[in-house]
Chain A
Amino acid sequence: MIAGMLASEHKKRVCMFIDNAVQLQLSRELGLAFDFFTRPQTWEILRLSQVQLLPIITKISGGDVIKNVNPLIVCHRQDSVDAMGHLYHLFMGNDWEIERLSEHKYTPAFAAFRLRKIKLIRAKILWPALFNWLNTLGVEIFSPQDLEIISHRDGSATLNAQTQSMDVQRMVLADEQAIHTLATHSDIDRLFTKSYTTSLITEPVEDITEAMILSPEFGFSARTCQNNSLEVLAHINMEMLGGLLHKNLPGEHSIRRAGRATFPSLVMRDGAPLAGKIGRSSIWGIAGFGHTGIFFAPALARLIADRSSALEARYFELRLGSSKRQMANIVDFSSLHGEENI
C-alpha cells in the first residue's frame, strides 16, 4: 500500500520486492484498525491516516474490501488488564465505542471489553486488487529472492534484481520480515525481541458467536470466517497456541487444525512503532504497527516522501530506529511482556 501511495500520491518511481506467495499464505497480519496502543499520539496519526486510506482502498478493491467488526478483547494478566484500562479511558474520552464487559461469559477474574465499528480490511479481496493497482501505477515488482543490495552512505542504494540494476534514493524495509532478513544483527537485537509467530486456520468450529477476539497477551487474534473456521495469529509457537486459543474462546469447543505456519518474527522491545532509519545504516525500517500497519500507509508514504505534516513529523521523529529513538517517551504496551525467545 505504501508503494502504491508513493507512486500515486507522491509521483515517486517505486520498485517493490515482495513474494507473490503472500496471496496464498496464511495471514501474517489482520488488517484491523486497532491494536493495543496506549499512546494517544499513535491513535491520532492512525485516525487521520485511516480517513485518507479508506476511499483509496475502496476505489481499488470495491466496497466489500472493508468491513466493520466488533472485536471482543480478553485479558488474563493484571498488567494487560491495566493497559486495557488506560486504553478504555482513552477510547471513552474520544467518544470511540468501547464497553467494559463486567458480566461476561468469561470467569470474573478475566477482564473483557467490546469494541465497536472497527474497520477490518479483507485481505483475500485486497491482495489481487492491490497487485493490479500497483501494475497500473507502474510500480515494478520483483521477487525478494533475486535481490542484491549495495547500500551507500547517503541513504541511496544500488539494487541488483534479475537482469536489472537500479539506483534508488531510499530503501525501506517495510515489515518485520524484511528487517529480519536484511538489517544488521546488532540493530535487530537493539530494537527487537526475537519471537515466533504462528498463523493458524481451523476447520469450521461450531457455536462460535464472536466475529473477532483479541488479546493484548502474545498479540493474540482470532477471526471467525464466513464458514465458521477460525484464523488465529499469535506471537507464540504452535504447541502453545492450542492452549492460548482455548483460553481465549468463550465456551468449550472441539477445534481441529486445517493449516498452520510458524515463522520467526520480531516484536518491538519497547512496544512502540518504528519508522525511519535503522541504526547507523541509511536503510529505513517500518515495524511495530501490529494489525494496523496498512492503515498507517498514507502517513508512512508521506514520511518516506519527506512530506509529513507537522504532527506526523513530531510523531515519527521520536520513533526512528537510530540511537535518536526516544525510547523513554514512546514505550507502549508490549504483547510479549519481556518474554524472550518463546
Chain B
Amino acid sequence: MKRPPSHRLSYDQDALFSGQLIDRGKQIHFHLDGRKFSGFKGDTVLSAILGSGVDTMGEAFDEAIALSPNLCPPIALKSAPAIPLPLNRTRVQSGQEYISYDGQIAKIERQKTHLKNLARSIFKKFNRSLEYDFSQGTDINGAWDEDVTSSTLNVDLVIVGGGITGLSAAQYALEKGWRIALIEQRPILGGDARFFGAVEGEERPDVFLQKLLAPLKSASMLKMHTSTQAVSVTSTRVRAHQLSYEKNSVTSSIVEFKTKHVILATGMLERLPLFPGNRLPGVIGSRTAFNLAMNYGVWKGKSIALCTGSSAATQVALLAADMGIKICRLADSRINPNSRFFEFAKAYGMSLATGLQVVSASPHKLGALEVQLGLVNTPSQLSGKPLIVDQLIVCGGWQPDLSLWHAAGGQTKWNGKKQQLQAFGELENIVLAGSCQMSGDLGSMSMSECSISGHIAVQEFSENALAITPASTQTISHESADGLLPVSEQKYGESVCYLDSGNSLARPQKVDTKFNWRLFLPSILQRFMQTQEDVVTGYSINDIVARVILNEIPKDYAGIFAKERCGVSGELLPSSQLNGNKSTGVTKTDEDTPHNVSVPPDFLIGRFGSGAVMVQLELSSNETLDIGCLIYPDHEELVPHHAIGAVTATQYSTQDKVFAYLNISELDSTHPIVVFNGTHGINAHYVLMHK
C-alpha cells in the first residue's frame, strides 16, 4: 500500500505549533480495525490517525464528512470490546489493538466497501476514511455517558473547566480551605488562553498560566482531573467520565463528585460558518486546527485559506506561516476590521481581504478543496476564481458553552447583537463563570477578566460575600468586535451544509441543499409531507444558534427551545441499571395482592346511588367473573347507565367467592340480579355482608 501522507508539522522547538504533548523520539505503532497506524508517545488515538493521514469519518448524506475531535466514533480495546472509549481522549498505547465499539457499530453500520477496499489495494491507494455510514443514525459520541459509577468522591466545590477562570476559582477557593475537584476535558490546562492570546497590558498566556498553576500543583486540597469529561451536573453532584491507564490497557469509569457547590467555567464553543461543504474533510474550525497543531503537531497539507469573523483566529494563519505553510488567502467577513493580529499579518507580508465569506467548498483532486469566496452582503457576487487549498480554516464566531448549564436545568435567552444564547436566571448551588457566563466582544473574555470572574464565582458561595467588582467585558479601541455568523446562499447541486461541527449532523430545515423532489409533488401531497415530524435528535447549542439565525426558530423562544433540546443526549436506562438509584419510585406489584372485600374502591363511591353496599354474590352458574363486571336489576337494558353495581373483588384461588358493590335499596336478597361479563348476563343474587 502506498505510504500514507504525514499530516504532521515539522518540529521546531521554539514554535507554538510544535506538538507539545508528543515525544517525537518515541514512535508508537498500533492497529485500529485491523489497519496499522503509527503515532508518537503522548498522542491520542485520534491525533495519531489524523497525523497518519486519515481525515474522513465516512459518509453522511452521500458525501464525505470530516473526522475531527467534534465527531469521532467510540472505540474499544480488542481485548475489551464492550467498553467504549472516546477516540479523542484515549491516549494511544504501543502495540495496542483498537476496534470500533461494537455497540455503536450496530447502529451506524460500517460501509460495505469491499469493492472500494479491493480497488484501493490494487491501485495501492491510501484509505483516508474510517468508512462510517451515517445514513442510519448519527449518535456516536457519549456512549460512556451512562456508565455505572465506579467511585464517589466528596468535595466542597467542583469546577468544570480548567481554563484561566476555573484555575483562578480554584486558587481563590483554596484560600477558604475547601476540598476542590477541577475537571478539564482536554489533556492540558489553560483553556483557550493561548488561542485568544493576551490583550494589551497582560503577560503572555504561558507566563500568566505558569504563575497561576505553580501554587495549585502542590495544593493537597485540590485535585485536577485532565482528559476528564463532565457528563452531567446537578446541584449536589457532578458525574464525569475518566480514563486510567495501565501497562497494556485502559479502563473507563464514571466518577461521581458529591459536592456543595459547582462552578461551570466551560468557556466558548466555536461556531461553524454556514456554507455548502462546511464539513468536508479539510474544512476545520480555527480553534480545533490550533489545538491539534499545538498539542500534537497535526496539520493537513501545505496550503490553507483562512476565513474568519473573529480576530483571534487570524493567529492560526500567522503560526502556520511560521511552520512553512502557504497562506493562499486570509479573509475576514467584517468590513475593514481592526486587530493587532492584522498588524502582525502585514509584517508577515499577508494581505487581509475583508468583507468576504466562504460561499461554498467542494472536494478537489488528491484530498484538496476548491473554495469559492463571495462578498458578505451579496454572497452571490463571487470574489475571484475558486481557491485550491489543502485546508480551509474557518471561524464563525463564538457561543458560550452552556451545554451543562442547560443539562442542569438552566435557562438561556437570545442576544441578538452578539447572536448568542446567553444564560440568565439562577440554579441552586451552580454558578457560571468566565466566558461561558459573559462573552467578550472579542470572543472570549481577556485573561484578567476571566481571573476576576473565577474569584467572583467562588465569592457567590461564601456566606460573607465581599463586594468584588463584577467582570465587565473589555472593549479595546483598536480591536473590532466579532462579526455575525456568515451564512452563504445555498443552491441545488451544491454540497451539504451543516449547522454545527458536532455529532447531531443537523442541517438547515428551510433550504435543502439537495434536489428537493417534494416541490414537484401536487400541492396536496406537499401539504401532507409538511405534516411529517422533523428528524429528531439532540441538538447542540450551536445548532440552535444557527437555526435562530436562519429564522427557523423565533428569537424570543430560542432559550426555551435550547433548554428542552440542548445537553440532553444520553441513554435512558432501565431502572435496574440506574446508577446509585436502584429504585425508580415505581411500585411494581406483580403479585396478585389480596383485595379488601369490605370496602369499595374510592372511584365507585356514589356511582350506584346512596343505597350501595358491599355484598357477596352467589351465581347461578360456575362462570368466572372479573373485576369491573357490571350488575343490572334484570336482563332488560344491559347498558352501564342502568347498572346498579359492579364486581369489586374475586377470590377464585381460595374459595370461589365474588364480591360486589351493589345498590340494594330496591332489592331484597332473594331478588335475582344479572351480572354482565362482557358477552352475556349471568343470574345471581346477593348475600349481605354489612348493614
Give CA–CA (A64, B528) in the complex, Å.
Answer: 8
Contacts A93-B640, A256-B572, A331-B605 given; indicate if A201 touches B536 (C-beta within 8 A): yes
Total count of chain A residues near the partner, CB < 8 A? 77
Complex: chain A residue closest to B582, CB-CB = A243
B564: chain A residues within 8 A (beta carbon): 25-26, 199, 259-261
Total count of chain B residues near the partner, CB < 8 A? 67
Give CA–CA (A204, B537) in the complex, Å.
Answer: 8
Interface check A245, CB cutoff 8 A: yes
B565: chain A residues within 8 A (beta carbon): 258-259
Contact A38 B603 (CB under 8 A): yes
A20, A64, A227: the one contacting B557 at CB < 8 Å is A20
Complex: chain A residue closest to B594, CB-CB = A78
A332: chain B residues within 8 A (beta carbon): 603
Complex: chain B residue closest to A218, CB-CB = B586
B535, B560, B639: the one contacting A21 at CB < 8 Å is B560
Interface check A136, CB cutoff 8 A: no
Contact B536 A242 (CB under 8 A): no
Contact with A along B522-546 (1 / 0, CB 8 A): 0000011001111111110000000
Task: Enumerate B544-593 residues with CB–CB distance to A below 8 Å.
Answer: 553-554, 556-557, 560-561, 563-565, 568-576, 578, 581, 584-593
Give the distance to chain A from B483, nearest Cβ to Cβ, in Å.
Answer: 28
Contact A243 B578 (CB under 8 A): yes
Contact B578 A227 (CB under 8 A): no
B604: chain A residues within 8 A (beta carbon): 38, 86
Contact B589 A258 (CB under 8 A): no
Contact A258 B537 (CB under 8 A): yes
Interface check B148, CB cutoff 8 A: no
A94: chain B residues within 8 A (beta carbon): 639-640
Contact B561 A261 (CB under 8 A): no
A110, A239, A330, A339: the one contacting B590 at CB < 8 Å is A110
Give CA–CA (A331, B606) in the complex, Å.
Answer: 9
B139, B531, B589, B628: the one contacting A88 at CB < 8 Å is B628
Interface of chain A: mostly helix, strand, loop or mixed? mixed
Question: What's the count of A-B pairs with C-beta under 8 Å?
Answer: 198
B527, B561, B646, B648: the one contacting A24 at CB < 8 Å is B561
Contact with B along A58-91 (1 / 0, CB 8 A): 0000101000000000001111011111111110
Task: Enumerate B638-683 residues with CB–CB distance to A below 8 Å.
Answer: 638-641, 643, 646, 648, 676, 678
Interface check A322, CB cutoff 8 A: no
A166: chain B residues within 8 A (beta carbon): none
Task: Enumerate A287-328 residues with CB–CB distance to B below 8 Å.
Answer: 326, 328
Contacts A229-B533, A259-B568 given; indicate if A203 touches B585 (C-beta within 8 A): no
B538, B557, B587, B627: the one contacting A77 at CB < 8 Å is B587
23 A-B pairs (CB sep. < 8 Å): A20-B556, A20-B557, A24-B553, A39-B603, A44-B641, A76-B586, A76-B590, A77-B587, A81-B627, A85-B628, A89-B630, A203-B537, A204-B137, A227-B535, A243-B574, A254-B571, A255-B572, A256-B538, A257-B569, A257-B570, A262-B409, A270-B602, A328-B605
Known: A26-B564, A77-B588, A243-B574; 12 extra A-B contacts, CB below 8 A, are: A20-B557, A81-B627, A86-B603, A227-B532, A229-B536, A239-B581, A242-B574, A259-B564, A261-B563, A262-B409, A329-B607, A332-B603
Query: Which residues in A have some Cβ–Cβ distance to B below 8 Å?
Result: 20-21, 24-26, 38-40, 44, 62, 64, 76-79, 81-90, 92-94, 107, 109-110, 122, 124-125, 199-204, 217-218, 225-227, 229, 236, 239-247, 254-262, 270-271, 326, 328-333, 337, 339, 342
